[in-house]
Amino acid sequence: MEKIYEKIENFERINPEEGVKLLKNGDFLELGRLANRIRFKKHPTDIVTFILDTNINYTNICYVGCSFCAFYRRKDDKDAYTLSIDDLIKKIEEAQSKGITTALIQGGLNPDLPYSYYLDLVRELSKSSVHVHAFSPPEIDLMCKIAQKSVDEVFEDLKNAGLTTMPGGGAEILTERVRKEISPKKISTDRWLEIMEKAHKHGIKTTATMMFGHIETEEDIIEHLDRIRQLQDKTCGFSAFIAWDFKKENNELGKRVKRSVSGIDYLKIVAIARIYLDNFDNIQASWASQGKDVGEVALHFGANDMGSMLIEENVMRQAGFRAEASVDEIARCIRKAGFKPALRTTDYKIVKML
C-alpha cells in the first residue's frame, strides 16, 4: 500500500490493480489527503464552484425499464407523460425567472417520439439565454434507431440545432457483468463510450457519471473509472466526473440490495475518482447525493465542485430521496468548509464569485 501512496504522492498514474487495492484497503484519511493534494495541484485556489440549473425530464415513458429506476413508466400507465416543446419552453422560462443558467434535459427512452422532437427541443430551447445541456448516450442511441442515422449524423444534426454540451448519464456501472444484471436493455459499455467519443470529436463536451452502491464490486468501479480515463486520454472531452450513490426506494433493484451507502463509502469514491482520473479537471461532490454535511466534507476529499443547485429534480425523488438547498445555503456550506463559493457555467467557467 505504501508504494501506491508514494506513486500518488509523486503524481504518477496508478493502474487498475493498484486502484482496486486502494479502494479495498486504502486508509480513509490517506485517500482524502492524496486526493486533496491532486485537487490543489489542478486547482491551486480554494474556490469551489457550483451551477444553478434545472433538471427537466421531457418524458417518463421508457422501454428499457432498468431495475434501479423508480422514474420510468410504460406508455399505458396513468401517470405516464411526455412534455410538448411548448411545455418545455414554459418550464425553462419559469426556471429562468428563478435565475437558473442551465437546463439539464434528459428523458426516458420513448420510441414514439419522432426524431424531429429532439431537434426541435434543442433548437427552440436554445433560443433563450439558458444553456441547453441535453441527452445522455442511451437517448442518442435511440435517436440513431428512430432516424436510421449514424451517431455522427445525429450529432451533426443536434449541433446544427444548437447542442454544445451533454450530460454523462446512462453510464451506471460501465461493465457488462453489472449492466446485464441491472439494465440489460440499456446500451452496452462499448456503445456508451463510442457515443461519448463521437460527441467529443464533434466538440460536444460531456461529463461522465457513475451510479454505485448496488451490486457492483470494487473491480467493477475501477474498471468503470479505467474505461473513462482511457477515453479521456484520447479525446479530452470530459469536463467532470460525478458519482451518485444508488437510491433504493420504489425500484426492483432496491429490494435485492441489502447494503446502503455510508458517508464513508461515498467519500472514498470521491477520493478514488480524484486519484484515478488524473486526466479529469473536475470532480463533483454532490450535496444532493449524501446530504449537505457529507457534501461539505467531500470538499476535503478531492472534490472541487458542488454540482448543481437543482430547481427541479424528478428521478431521485421518485426513489425516495429529496434534498433541498438554496444558493445561499450551498454558498454558506462551501464557506463553512473553508472554501470560496463561485457560480459557474456548464463548461466550468466562473460566472461570479459569491
Partner 1 sequence: MSDLREIKEKIDNNQPIDFEDARKILKSNDLIEIGKLARSIKFKKTDKKVYFVFNKHINYTNLCISKCKFCAFYRNGDEPDAYTMEIDDIIEEIAKMPEGIREVHIVGGLHPTKPFSYYLDMVSSIKKHFPNVNVKAFTAVEIDYFSKLSGLDYEGVLKELKKAGLDSMPGGGAEVFSERVRKKLYPNKIPYEKWAEVHAIAHKLGIPTNATLLFGHIETDDEIIDHLFKLRKLQEEHPGFLCFIPLSFHPANTPLEGKIEKVDAVKELKVLALSRIILDNFPHIKAYWVMLSPKIGQIGLHFGADDIDGTIGQERVTHAAGAKSPLGLAKEQMVNLIKNAGFVPVERDALYNEIEVFN
For the CB of residue 332, give the shortest distance to partner 1 in the complex, in Å. Answer: 7
Strand, coil or helix: 206: strand
Beta-bridge partners for 298 = none
Beta-bridge partners for 134 = 105
Closer to partner 1 by CB, 61 or 294: give it. 294
For the CB of residue 15, give the shortest distance to partner 1 in the complex, in Å. Answer: 24
Cell reading at 37 = 493534494
Closer to partner 1 by CB, 103 or 267: give it. 267
Beta-bridge partners for 206 = 166, 238
For the CB of residue 104, give the shortest distance to partner 1 in the complex, in Å. Answer: 26
Residue 221 to residue 241: CA distance in whole angstroms: 13
Residue 325 to residue 323: CA distance in whole angstroms: 7
Q: Is the dihedral of CA 309, 313, 317, 319 positive or negative?
A: negative
Closer to partner 1 by CB, 70 or 299: give it. 299
Residue 270 to residue 262: CA distance in whole angstroms: 13
CA distances to 1, 216, 232, 259 from 275, in Å: 14, 20, 15, 25
- DSSP letter assigned to residue 347: T
* Chain residues in the site for partner 1 (CB under 8 A): 27-29, 32-33, 36, 46, 262-265, 267, 290-294, 296-297, 300-301, 332-333, 336-338
Under a CB-based contact definition with an 8 Å cutoff, are residues 268 and 23 in contact? yes
Closer to partner 1 by CB, 247 or 300: give it. 300
Q: Find, among 260, 226, 263, 219, the residue nearest to 241 by Cα.
A: 226
For the CB of residue 246, give the shortest distance to partner 1 in the complex, in Å. Answer: 16
For the CB of residue 159, give the shortest distance to partner 1 in the complex, in Å. Answer: 42
Closer to partner 1 by CB, 16 or 263: give it. 263
Closer to partner 1 by CB, 10 or 129: give it. 10
For the CB of residue 34, give the shortest distance to partner 1 in the complex, in Å. Answer: 9
Residue 154 to residue 163: CA distance in whole angstroms: 11
For the CB of residue 295, give the shortest distance to partner 1 in the complex, in Å. Answer: 9
Closer to partner 1 by CB, 33 or 123: give it. 33
